[in-house]
Structures are given as structure tokens and as C-alpha cells.
Structure 1
Amino acid sequence: MVTTVSSTSTSAATPGNTAQTPSVWLGCMAHYNAGYLVGDWYDAAEASTVTVAELHRGTGLSPAGCEELWCYDTEYMLVDREMSPHEAQQQAEALFAVDEHLRPALRAWVASGDYVAEGDGRSDVPALGDFHDRYCGNWDSFEEYAADLVDSTGMLQGVPEEVAQHFDWKSHARELVHDYAVLDAQAPASGVYVFRSC
């Protein structure tokens, strides 16, 4: 049997938050293993600053012998899985490090699994430099991106009009797409996010 005991945190993070603030349900591992859910929702950007004493405040349970806190649930994070408070904070910091209009694309890139992580590959925290290098924008379709790429690079510049008019745009896009990750855009955006794969 599991008994739920919520702390009296002053955190603004709550389930169903409409601001889409990255949040975690932070709990005490020792009490969890003993059958008690001791914890509460916290803003992920502050997860690693929550202390054992703070988490247990108002629960009526002693924090003695409790050493480790763990994020058992997530909301609006880049990945949806359990993690340490430190990693939760890193995830939130990565999300807030990009402009707000780019956050849905960053979420999609990470969710695709076709992204570059920081460090030695044991982290799910995305390498933001790679995100910015690889992100090609939000387009109505990949074909629209491919056509823009041809125009912006001058691929057909200098080709006689009578030859250029026979350029097979659809075939070109079908070949080009193999070098990209094309991901469905997340609301409120529409179309696709385009990322270079290498």
C-alpha cells in the first residue's frame, strides 16, 4: 500500500499549469521505497535547490535517514521520464536558454531522438549549439524548404531558363530529405520543423 503525503511547498508549479512551465514532482526516495509518496510539484529550474528538510516540511514525517530526492513525474520537460533534480534543472535551463518561439522546435528535436546531447552521451540535455546549427526553420512543407534552399543558394543561377523550367522540384526534395530530420510542428505552429541531420 502506498500512502500519499504532500509537503507544504510554496512552489508555483502545479499539474495543469497553463504557463507550460517545466515542472517536476519531486519526492523523497527513502519514503518512496517505504511506501510513502512524500513530495510535491516544483518548478524544474529550481529542482536541485530543494532540500530534504524543505520537502518534508508539513508532512508529519521525519526527514531523518532521508538523503536523496528524485523527480518521479514531469510536466512540460524536454523528456518525459524520471530524473535527478540536477538533470531536471539542466533540462529547464536548456529550454529557457532558447528564445520562446524556438522552444516548440527544441522540444520536437529532442522528442525525435535525432538530436545531439551535451557531454558524453549519458545526458538527455540537448547541445544548444548543435540545435542552432541544425535548425533550418518552420516550413509549410519540406518541399517549400527545398525550393527556398535552391533559390537562396543560387543552384539554378546561370542555368538557361529553357533548362531551369524543367528542373524536377519534387524529385530534388525527395533526394534532399535524406540529409534532414523533418518533424511535425507542435501547436500553435503548423507545418514541419526542418533540421540538418549532419
Structure 2
Amino acid sequence: MQLVFNSESEALAVAEQLYNIQQIGKILIPADKTIDYQALELAVNLAGVNFPSFSFPIVSSLKCRLPYPSHERECTDNKTPKIYVACLSAYNSGHLHGLWIDATQDLEDIEDDIKWMLSWSPVADDEPCEEWAIHDYENFADFSLREYESLEYISKLAQVLDDADDADAMAAWLNYAKDPIHNPDIEKLAEEFSSYYCGHWESERDFVLKSDEIESMYNWSEFEKNFLFWSQHIDWDSVARELFIEGYDSVKASPHGVYIFREYYG
């Protein structure tokens, strides 16, 4: 019981549209030795090839695999925080099936995208497809996401990073200020960012010497003007260390420098 095509390439094009089919050269052999005519006709039309010759009854055994229309919901923006959610049923069956989802959406919209992706799983006709996992993510600055990270947390984090003028600085602040044990209040911390952020500097010493904030507190320029000799013998690295013992904190920035924050007590 065989479907015979004009060429191996035609057979391959149709095989990619059908389930439970084996290809041998230009011949396709249904696993159940029967095939649904409508499924075959649709697969042939999708592949754009000539209808094959056959010599066996065509009944309901195969289903046509419609192309997965991922483009309808796929997040393709290179700057938007996004997550790649995969169907675990498909993954465990040897299929890679998932969707890049815009993580800046509200929780309900992210959940809807996941359900939609699962409904198109290549194994959805054979088993329930309800389990999923995050297999990749992009544009979350220095944040790491787990496979089963809370979608509500991801949504809030993505929205905050996407709205920030400097996503890397915001990420540094959130990592610095968040509660390491309990879930951080991302939105509250984002609102507090401007009250604590002192900028991106080459080093703590650079901040001490050049920032208007430190200048207004200690008037270094006036000291240098009045006591030039002594100002040339100040150990500014030591001064910076003293100021950063209490009052300020620094977070390493990538690829260089540090982000400076006024000390945060939560």
C-alpha cells in the first residue's frame, strides 16, 4: 500500500504535511496502511505537487499537519523583552515546538499566547498538551529567568525594563535593591529608582571626584583652590572607600564602569 509520486522531492514535500507516514524515495507508506482522502488532497495542495498514484483504500487514518502559523503571534522585535515558551509534550516526543512571546504583555495575554501555541502542538491529536517551560529569553539585561518562572513576575519585570530609559541601569538597581528571599515589588522599586540612582561612572573614585552631589557635600573644588599643595596629596581611592562604606553602593556595569546608588535599606 503505497503512494507513488513523480519524484523524491515531491514525496518529501507531502510527507512534511502528514502524520504517521514513512518515506522511501519517491514512495510514501502510511503506517496504518490507510489514509484519509481529504487529508491527502490538502497535503498535496499545500505541497504544490501532482496527485500520487495509489492502489489501496483511502479511509480515515491520517490527519493533515497544517503549517504552524507562528508568525501570527511571534514576537520578532529585537529589543523587546521576550520569552521562548516550548511545549513539553512535543519536546518529549522529539519535536521542537514553541513560540517567542512578547513578555511586556499583561499576564492574561501571555497565558493566552501559551495556550494558543500548545493548541498547535504537533502531538496535540495524540495526547494532552498542557505542560510548558521557558527554554530561552532575550532582552532582560542581567536578569536570569528559570524554566518555570512566575509569568506575573516576568510580565512586570519586562514592562519595567521596557519602559526604562536605561534598561541596564534599571536592571542593576532591581538586582541591588530587591529582596533576595521574597518576591520583590518590581513596580515599587522602579518608582524609587530615580531617587537612588547617581549615574554610570568609570569608578567609585571617578564619582567622588566629579559628581555634583559629592561636590555640593564636601566642596572639593574650593578645597583644591585654597589648598593646592594638600589637595595633590590626598589619597582619593581611600576617600572613595570611606564614602562607600556607608552612604553609597556601586554595582559593576557591563562592559565597563559602575552604577552608583545611594544606599538603600528597603
Q: TM-score over 0.5 for the alignment?
A: yes
User: Which residue of 73, 76, 94 corresponds with 2:139?
Assistant: 76
Specify the code of the residue in structure 1 equivalent to 2:140. M
The reply on whether 1:181 has 2:245 as its aligned counterpart is no
Greater CA radius of gyration, 1 or 2? 2
The separation in 2 between residues aligned to 1:38 and 1:85, in whole angstroms, is: 19
User: Which residue of 137, 157, 162 corresponds with 1:96?
Assistant: 162
Q: 1:162 to 1:45 in 2, by over 3 A?
A: closer
- Is the Cα contact below 8 Å between 1:47 and 1:88 reproduced in 2? no
Q: Percent identity?
A: 25
In the TM superposition, 1:86-125 aligns within 5 A as: 86-99=152-165, 102-110=166-174, 113-116=175-178, 121-123=182-184, 125=186
Aligned residues: 182
The separation in 2 between residues aligned to 1:59 and 1:32, in whole angstroms, is: 6
Question: Equivalent residue of 1:114, what SS?
Answer: helix
- Is the Cα contact below 8 Å between 1:7 and 1:57 reproduced in 2? no
The separation in 2 between residues aligned to 1:125 and 1:7, in whole angstroms, is: 35
* Post-superposition offset of 1:24: 0.4
Question: Equivalent residue of 2:244, what SS?
Answer: helix
In the TM superposition, 1:125-136 aligns within 5 A as: 125=186, 127-136=189-198
Over residues 123-150 of structure 1, what are the superposed CA-to-partner deviations in whole Å (9 max), with x where a residue is unaligned? 4836112322221101122112112343
Q: Which runs of 5+ in 1 are unaligned?
A: 1-5
Specify the code of the residue in structure 2 equivalent to 1:183. V
The separation in 1 between residues aligned to 2:105 and 2:68, in whole angstroms, is: 16
Q: Which runs of 5+ in 2 are unaligned?
A: 1-66
The reply on whether 1:169 has 2:232 as its aligned counterpart is no
User: Which residue of 141, 147, 166 corresponds with 2:203?
Assistant: 141
- Is the Cα contact below 8 Å between 1:136 and 1:194 reproduced in 2? yes
Question: Equivalent residue of 1:46, what SS?
Answer: coil
* Post-superposition offset of 1:86: 2.4
Over residues 30-66 of structure 1, what are the superposed CA-to-partner deviations in whole Å (9 max), with x where a residue is unaligned? x279656542211211373142541134333338855
Higher relative contact order (CA 8 A, sep 6+): 1
The separation in 1 between residues aligned to 2:118 and 2:237, in whole angstroms, is: 61
Name whichever of 68-77 and 160-169 sits farther off: 160-169
Specify the code of the residue in structure 2 equivalent to 1:84. S
Matched with 2:24 is: none
Tell me how large the CA RMSD over aligned residues is: 3.6
Over residues 62-116 of structure 1, what are the superposed CA-to-partner deviations in whole Å (9 max), with x where a residue is unaligned? 38855565433222225212213322211111112322xx212122334xx4223
Matched with 2:103 is: 44
